[in-house]
Structure 1
Amino acid sequence: MLRSMTGYGRAQQILDGKEILVEIRAVNHRYFEFSSRVPRAYMYLDEKLKSLLQGRVARGKTEVCVTINRIDGSDAKIQVNMGTAQGYLQALRDANETLHLQDDLKLTDLIRFPEIFIVQKAVENEEAVWEEIRQVASAALDRFVTMR
């Protein structure tokens, strides 16, 4: 059966506290050309997604977009680098003395310096994450193939 190279498929699920959205788009192209947009921390999924699609898509310029959002917000631990924060505070107070300004420094002034925050991402099991992504991507791929 002859199929169009143009298509679109989308699937969204909540698995293990993560909202996962996978969108697959393709336009006419002589060969199978794959590109993906995945969050930086999940770049290892790129080749796995390509292999998954190659099994069912022979031609077309195909793009896969993956969005992963933690629902419970537990994907990162955020701390304040107190040494850096104290350094900024002291530098601002020194500038204040030199420039003879009114000292009205508040916490909200310090949070404008992103360097004072230490963000540690939670370590995830790559195989478990792939299984979740594969499940959602397979559903999107089914819809994509049906549309073609």
Structure 2
Amino acid sequence: MVLSMTGYGRGRQQTQLFSVTVEIKSVNHRFCEYQMRMPKQLVKIEDQLKKIIGRYIQRGRVDVFVTISGEGLVKRQLRVDWDLLDEYHRFLSRLRDKYGIESGFGIRELLNHEDLVTIEEIEEDNEEIIALVMEACREAAGQLRLMREKEGAQLQRDLENHLQSLSKLLETIKAHAATLVHTYMLKLEKRMQEITNGQLDEARIVQEAALFAEKSDIHEEITRLESHLLQFRETLALHEPIGRKLDFMIQEMNREVNTIGSKANASAISTAVVELKSVLEKMREQVQNIE
């Protein structure tokens, strides 16, 4: 089964008090890499969320967004700087005792003084919220998987079409390769007739043709390329991550095609080689997004 590494999933769970949303998006990546964005009180379950997602996907860059709304998520409390307050008190007492100045500093001023009194928000652990996050994560990961399967199915259809194009081009090369030596001998005979005024050296022609046949023999490359095409088709049917394996096969096919292009001294084969490279490049781009 072909799975794309691109996808998106969203899960939402709620109660009368809380609402939890988990969004997961993924793109292609050489390995499996996570970026988690969530409230601080959920950092402790980050590894658990990764394990949940890991049951659905095995490769790609994964961004996870967790948002929580509702009442009672944050506990507020006053923080008083008692040391600074003592300093104020000593200062005001000294003003009164030394100069007879009565201060108008009261509770209202105390509460409005940011250096003395602040309100802190503390995110509290809540097992109910954690359970909601876990379930929303499973839902989002399931949707992500479904999208990756749908895109993967489209990638597989495109790759199979490309494989058919490669097979047709390879048949064209095989047909021209079968007559390559004979065509070369005819050209060589004609050239020698022009040079020697019709006097042919049959032994020399046979020798030159043999050398040409040895240099231009692409039988092994064609056989290996056909084997790679077969392995590629078989790999597409595997139920496991196959992206790296397919990428390696395309590299090997490119290598064989380059060798064919350098050996075969025929315009028809050269044209087919250019088309082969074009198709393989399209396949390489698509394989980059397969898990």
After superposition, the Cα gap between the structure-2 partners of 1:141 and 1:77, relative to the gap in structure 1 and judged at 3 Å, is: same
Tell whether the 8 Å contact from 2:41 to 2:123 is kept in structure 1 after alignment: no
After superposition, the Cα gap between the structure-2 partners of 1:130 and 1:73, relative to the gap in structure 1 and judged at 3 Å, is: closer
Q: What is the aligned partner in structure 1 of residue 205 from structure 2?
A: none
Q: What is the aligned partner in structure 2 of residue 116 from structure 1?
A: 118
**Structure 1: 5+ residue stretches without partners:** 95-102
What amino acid does structure 2 have at the position aligned with 1:13?
Q
- 1:5 deviation in Å? 0.2
Q: What is the aligned partner in structure 2 of residue 100 from structure 1?
A: none
Q: CA RMSD in A?
A: 3.4
Whether 2:3 is the aligned partner of 1:15: answer no
Tell whether the 8 Å contact from 2:12 to 2:136 is kept in structure 1 after alignment: yes
After superposition, the Cα gap between the structure-2 partners of 1:65 and 1:115, relative to the gap in structure 1 and judged at 3 Å, is: farther
Tell whether the 8 Å contact from 1:84 to 1:116 is kept in structure 2 after alignment: no
**Structure 2: 5+ residue stretches without partners:** 94-103, 149-291
- 1:82 deviation in Å? 7.0
Alignment deviations for residues 21-76 of structure 1 (CA, whole Å, 9 cap, x no partner): 1110111112222221121121111100110011110111111111122x124531
What amino acid does structure 2 have at the position aligned with 1:72?
E
> How many residues in Structure 1 have an aligned counterpart in Structure 2?
139
What amino acid does structure 1 have at the position aligned with 2:126?
E
Structure 1: distance between partners of 2:91 and 2:41: 35
Q: Secondary structure in 1 aligned to 2:82? A: helix
After superposition, the Cα gap between the structure-2 partners of 1:50 and 1:115, relative to the gap in structure 1 and judged at 3 Å, is: farther
Structure 1: distance between partners of 2:111 and 2:56: 53
Structure 1: distance between partners of 2:6 and 2:116: 43
Tell whether the 8 Å contact from 1:20 to 1:66 is kept in structure 2 after alignment: yes
Q: What is the aligned partner in structure 1 of residue 82 from structure 2?
A: 83
User: Per residue, is there more strand in 1 or in 2?
Assistant: 1
- Higher relative contact order, structure no. (Cα contacts within 8 Å, ≥ 6 residues apart): 1
Over the matched positions of the two proteins, sequence identity in percent amounts to 24
Tell whether the 8 Å contact from 1:25 to 1:63 is kept in structure 2 after alignment: yes
TM-score, normalised relative to structure 2: 0.40
Structure 2: distance between partners of 1:123 and 1:87: 34
Tell whether the 8 Å contact from 2:111 to 2:117 is kept in structure 1 after alignment: no
Q: What is the aligned partner in structure 2 of residue 35 from structure 1?
A: 35
